[in-house]
Amino acid sequence: SRYNIAVLVGSLRRESFNRKLATALARLAPQEFTLKQLEIGDLPLYNQDDDADQPAPTKRLKAELQAASGVLFVTPEYNRSIPGVLKNAIDHASRPYGQSAFAGKPAGVIGVSVGAIGTAIAQQHLRGVLAYLDMPTLGQPEAFVQAKEGLFDEAGDIGPNSRKFLQGWVDKYVAWIRHHAK
Ligand code: FNR
């Protein structure tokens, strides 16, 4: 593909709504885009002592991010912020100092939760992190998705009620990547 997007899903749960959302969103992207969900569940807890010789899963994650045209964060909200597993992955790939895999990569932020305000606070926290990491991040439209019956159809695609909205979101994200990708 012309554009390879690294997708970071902030949940390790087997039946994760966010993983399902990431999978469904990938099917709404045009053909020259490939969206690949990266493994973050095998990363150890970040330890700065290891910066000089990063663990193998960290090296793999960084290589995949460095090869990507952009990053898509699809995350739940845990206790009004981003899950530790996602922050851990971000910390790993941002180091050692000066060798971040994120710098300059265009990004998008989206998420689904069971709560009515659908990951809004987690997304806002994540935006602060991404600003520090120097990632140009799509500002509008915002997408706060609530996990409801019918969000996904039987094929795992976005159900009819949310389809137009989320297709519009993907279209804007894709345009953002095209604009910023090197
Ligand atoms: C949650 N959940 C949650 N939901 C929310 O809207 N705001 C929140 O702050 C929290 N906090 C929270 C903390 C922890 C530790 C858990 C496990 C859950 C509920 C959350 O939205 C729900 O579990 C989602 O299903 C998680 O996303 P995945 O795993 O389905 O992708």
Determine the pLDDT at residue 115: 87
Domain boundaries, the chain: 3-180
Cα distance between residue 170 and residue 25, in whole Å: 7
pLDDT per residue as tens digits for the range 4-22: 999 999 999 999 999 999 9
User: Whole-model pTM?
Assistant: 0.98
**ipTM, interface predicted TM-score of the complex:** 0.99
77: CB partners within 8 A, 6+ apart: 111, 113, 115, 118, 119, 120, 121, 122, 123
* 34 C-beta closer than 6 A to ligand 1: no
Ligand 1 site, residue 13, Cβ cutoff 6 A: yes
How far does the centroid of ligand 1 lie from the alpha carbon of residue 78, in Å? 5
Q: Residue 80 CA: which ligand 1 atom is closest?
A: 9
Strands 70-74 and 33-37: unpaired
State mean pLDDT over 166-172: 98
Q: How many secondary structure helices (H) and strands (E) does the chain include? A: 5, 5
Query: Looking at the chain, how many residues does it have?
Result: 182
CATH class of 3-180: alpha beta
146 lines ligand 1 (CB under 6 A): no
**Which tens digit of pLDDT belongs to each residue from 86-132?**
999 999 999 999 999 999 999 999 999 998 888 999 999 999 999 99
Of the pLDDT bands very low, low, confident and very high (cuts 50, 70, 90), residue 181 is: confident
pLDDT averaged over the chain?
A: 97
The confidence score (pLDDT) of residue 1 equals: 76
Across 39-48, average pLDDT: 98
| pLDDT over 70, % of the chain | 100
Of ligand 1's atoms, which has the minimum distance to the CA of residue 115? 6
- Nearest residue (CA) to ligand 1, atom 27: 76
Whether 142 shows a pLDDT value over 80: the answer reads yes
